[in-house]
Chains A and B, each alone.
Chain A
Amino acid sequence: AQKVTQAQTEISVVEKEDVTLDCVYETRDTTYYLFWYKQPPSGELVFLIRRNSFDEQNEISGRYSWNFQKSTSSFNFTITASQVVDSAVYFCALRVTQGGSEKLVFGKGTKLTVNP
């Protein structure tokens, strides 16, 4: 199966707390790509990061960081010093290939609420 599991349905934190959103994936591809998208209350999908399977370096972008672990098939997302504006649904996604075409398979999303 090729799928993404985001076990945390909802998380609520207080501003300035750190929070980690979990993502576990399954794929039969030897080369694959993982993504995180943010969906704020306005509804659009905002690209955050792409990670390919042959680059296990962790990535930091400001308050955001991502931890990619092939050994555990996980691609977790940490927000440091969370802010109210971080409140959104966050989706982890896996690029799946089949017969020359490709698509994204999304997890169910984690709804993050950051309270002031």
Chain B
Amino acid sequence: EPEVTQTPSHQVTQMGQEVILRCVPISNHLYFYWYRQILGQKVEFLVSFYNNEISEKSEIFDDQFSVERPDGSNFTLKIRSTKLEDSAMYFCASSENRPAPIDGYTFGSGTRLTVV
């Protein structure tokens, strides 16, 4: 079964450093998303991406964050100058079409980011 692949599974970084979280969506999917889950809390929407541009972004997604689809297969989330409160699990998701695919949005297994 096709999967959304996220790397790395766990990243530890020092406060103030830049990190890039990588995702490989399912190959025929067109819509891409990043979500964040602070430990023990709910999953929160960060950003959606379609046709090489951001469709929507949340209040969380400020100038510190950026997304890119650099090569037609990867979908990256960059966090500049990380802060302690950026520590969370970051999930990538993709869908083939809209609205609301029958088999749900396919989520990756997540990258746990720890900022120290």
Question: Contacts A102-B48, A102-B99, A103-B56 given: A47-B43 contact, CB under 8 Å?
Answer: no
Residue in contact with A43 in the complex, picked from B33, B42, B100, B110, CB distance below 8 Å = B110
B91 pairs with A45, CB closer than 8 A: yes
Residue in contact with B105 in the complex, picked from A43, A104, A107, CB distance below 8 Å = A104
Residues of B within 8 A of A101 (CB): 48, 50, 55-56
Q: List residues 95-111 of chain B with CB under 8 A from any CB of chain A.
A: 98-110
Q: Is A83 an interface position by the 8 A CB rule?
A: no
B43 to chain A, nearest CB (A): 4
Q: Is the interface of A mostly helix, strand, loop or mixed?
A: strand
Residues of A within 8 A of B105 (CB): 35, 47, 104
How many residues does chain A have at the interface if contact means C-beta atoms less than 8 Å apart?
Answer: 27
Residues of A within 8 A of B56 (CB): 98-99, 101-103
Cα A104 to Cα B99 with chains together (Å): 11
A95 pairs with B99, CB closer than 8 A: yes
Can you name the residue of chain A whose Cβ is closest to the Cβ of B107? A45
Q: List residues 81-116 of chain A with CB under 8 A from any CB of chain B.
A: 91, 93, 95, 97-109
Q: Which 5 A-B pairs have the closest CB atoms?
A: A47-B104, A101-B55, A33-B100, A101-B56, A45-B107
Q: Which residues of A contact B (CB under 8 A)?
A: 33, 35, 37, 42-45, 47, 49-50, 52, 91, 93, 95, 97-109
